[in-house]
Structure 1
Amino acid sequence: MNKKISFYFGRVLILGRTNSGKSTLLNKLIGKNISITSHKINTTYFNINGIYNYDNYQIEYIDSPGFINKNNIISNLLDNKKIDVILLVLDRNKWNNIEENIIKIINNISISTIIIINKIDKIYNKTILLPYINFLKTKIFFTNLVMISAKKKLYVNDIHHFIFKILPKKKHFFPKNYITNQSKELIISEIIRKYIMKYIHNELPYIIKIKVEPFIKTSKIFIKNINILLYVNKIIHKKILIGKNAKIIKLIISKSQNSIEKFLNRKIILKIWIKLK
């Protein structure tokens, strides 16, 4: 008689300060770039969910917004979703009121927490880690602690195995081939915003509205056009986006098209129009 297979499913919330590497970690855990990364603050505006499947295990990872430092953001995430595991991502040995605020909430709930010390490739004096880990033990109770470099994908896969041990027995929530429950249009808009952030060095990227017009596959390997509308408030914003001799907008289109092709796994023609609101 065949033994009945048990299935495991759980939601994992990724918390941490801005630029601690949460989005990079999510991308590496999923194996696809679904959350944009940038050195600028507050890059992620909303929750990005990524789905990881391995045999009879399924994990829904939730990347929290860049402005997670606000307590009500964490509380709302915990109230609105059934979270089974928390990944608290720490940027090396940084610790201040941001981390203090996050652990105050974690310490008041009974959710298994795994500490992730990220960017260990940048810690040249590894002797500081043991005192730091001892310090963490005085601050928060955690199930496991993993030291990684998300950018270089060092020890990232270990995280999955620690989570597997915690997941409840439950039917899988998503089809096996799911990678994210975000729409393709949303991810494309996020890719474009990433490159606007990269090449526009002021507050402008935060006020631009991006609209991705509906597109269709023309073949298995080609999408004819993806049309993007960028809405700005002022003529000067439009001039900044275009740049001298259209240098900046051409760069944004070129880099975005390359990344979108990798995401969609097909060739595209990307067209961008800049309009006043």
Structure 2
Amino acid sequence: MKIISSYYGSVLLIGRTNAGKSTLLNFLVKKKISIVSHKRNTTNNNIIGVYNNDIYQIEFIDTPGNIFYKNKILKLLKNNKYDFILFILDKNKWNYIEDNFTKILSKINIPIILIINKIDQIKNKNILLPYINFLKKKINIFHLFIISAKYKLYTNDIYRIIYNNLPKKKHFYSKNYITNQTDQVIIKEIIRENIIKFIHKEIPYLVKIKVIFSKILLNKINILFLVKKINHKKIIIGKNSHNIKLIKNRSEKNIEKFFKKKIKLNIWIKIK
């Protein structure tokens, strides 16, 4: 009888805010578990996403983009045994944030998979070779990928490299486990992402979202938006309820897609 081996590994995603970590995490887990926005600091806590198949299980940990000071990076790496680090870079940005990352990563023994993201925004590809040579002087690179996480360009080979180097180990999570995010957190994050998408400026960050009733099995979710000012409420509702309808309809579809169930979403807005 043929014995099938199992492989398990833990992979840490690091990089500056808006480097594309959340987009890449969603792709790698094959499920949208992390909010994606072009606006700052949309990921505030470590988000775990688990990719499962019969043989391989990979735990991906997405970190907040505001963890870039040396003491925070060291704390993140301390007492944690990662099999790989995915260091995600936006080619168009480099300052003390990337310097802090590279100084610490140059001193650790964990294999670093370097990901240069947003290749779709790089018009002159000739600048990539000098940039790669520059990076090779900064850190030891286990493997390098140049990708667009947004458009899923050249992303599939990331699996191949991780698969081929995972330790033979019993799976840590059950085969149906996807994320450490609770159903309520996922619902709130989906709604928050759509508020950010349809409402501009800083207003989305001033809205507190409360799940006041959530029964996925009953296909019903009631949500309360808490705002501080009447004009914020008016903006969220929009002319002829345009904005709130967009938020509600898109959120409803996103929630249905995630839970694979028909959902009735109700939203109320209250001035706190």
TM bucket, shorter chain: over 0.9
Task: Report the CA distance between 1:3 and its aligned residue.
Answer: 5.1
Deviations along 1:223-265, whole A, 9 cap, x unmatched?
4321111222333332222223322112111111111111111
Task: Report the CA distance between 1:4 and its aligned residue.
Answer: 4.0
Measure, in 2, the Cα distance between the counterparts of 1:230 and 1:80: 39
Measure, in 2, the Cα distance between the counterparts of 1:71 and 1:199: 35
Match of 2:125 in 1: 126
Task: Report the CA distance between 1:28 and its aligned residue.
Answer: 1.0
Deviations along 1:175-216, whole A, 9 cap, x unmatched?
112222211211111111111111221222223221223422
Measure, in 2, the Cα distance between the counterparts of 1:39 and 1:121: 15
Secondary structure of the corresponding residue to residue 201 of structure 2: coil
Report the RMSD for the aligned CA atoms in angstroms: 1.9
Matches of residues 150-161 of structure 1 in structure 2 within 5 Å? 150-161=149-160
Match of 1:33 in 2: 32
Structure 1 residues 95 and 175: alpha-carbon distance in aligned structure 2, compared to 1, 3 A threshold: same
Task: Report the CA distance between 1:26 and its aligned residue.
Answer: 0.8
Task: Report the CA distance between 1:55 and its aligned residue.
Answer: 3.4
Measure, in 2, the Cα distance between the counterparts of 1:191 and 1:227: 14
Task: Report the CA distance between 1:80 and its aligned residue.
Answer: 6.0
Measure, in 1, the Cα distance between the counterparts of 2:48 and 2:190: 16
Matches of residues 232-243 of structure 1 in structure 2 within 5 Å? 232-243=227-238
Structure 1 residues 217 and 43: alpha-carbon distance in aligned structure 2, compared to 1, 3 A threshold: closer
Match of 2:249 in 1: 254
Secondary structure of the corresponding residue to residue 187 of structure 1: helix
Write the letter of the residue equivalent to 2:184. E
Match of 2:186 in 1: 187
Measure, in 2, the Cα distance between the counterparts of 1:217 and 1:225: 6
Structure 1 residues 236 and 82: alpha-carbon distance in aligned structure 2, compared to 1, 3 A threshold: farther
Does structure 2 conserve the Cα–Cα contact (< 8 Å) formed by 1:93 and 1:129? Answer: no
Does structure 2 conserve the Cα–Cα contact (< 8 Å) formed by 1:210 and 1:228? Answer: yes
Work out the percentage of aligned pairs sharing the same amino acid: 60
Confirm or deny that 1:275 pairs with 2:270: yes
Deviations along 1:58-108, whole A, 9 cap, x unmatched?
111111113233334433332364322110111135322211111122223
Match of 1:173 in 2: 172
- Where do 5+ consecutive residues of structure 2 fail to align? none
Match of 2:261 in 1: 266
Q: 2:226 aligns with which of 231, 234, 250?
A: 231
Farther off after superposition, 106-115 or 162-171 = 162-171
Does structure 1 conserve the Cα–Cα contact (< 8 Å) formed by 2:6 and 2:55? Answer: yes
Match of 1:91 in 2: 90
Structure 1 residues 66 and 275: alpha-carbon distance in aligned structure 2, compared to 1, 3 A threshold: farther
Match of 2:137 in 1: 138
Farther off after superposition, 87-96 or 149-158 = 87-96
Match of 1:245 in 2: 240
Aligned length: 272
Does structure 1 conserve the Cα–Cα contact (< 8 Å) formed by 2:207 and 2:226? Answer: yes
Secondary structure of the corresponding residue to residue 165 of structure 1: helix
Write the letter of the residue equivalent to 1:24. T
Farther off after superposition, 131-140 or 168-177 = 168-177
Task: Give the TM-score, by structure 2 length.
Answer: 0.92
Task: Give the TM-score, by structure 1 length.
Answer: 0.91
Measure, in 1, the Cα distance between the counterparts of 2:2 and 2:259: 39
Farther off after superposition, 92-101 or 114-123 = 92-101
Write the letter of the residue equivalent to 1:101. N
Measure, in 2, the Cα distance between the counterparts of 1:126 and 1:203: 35
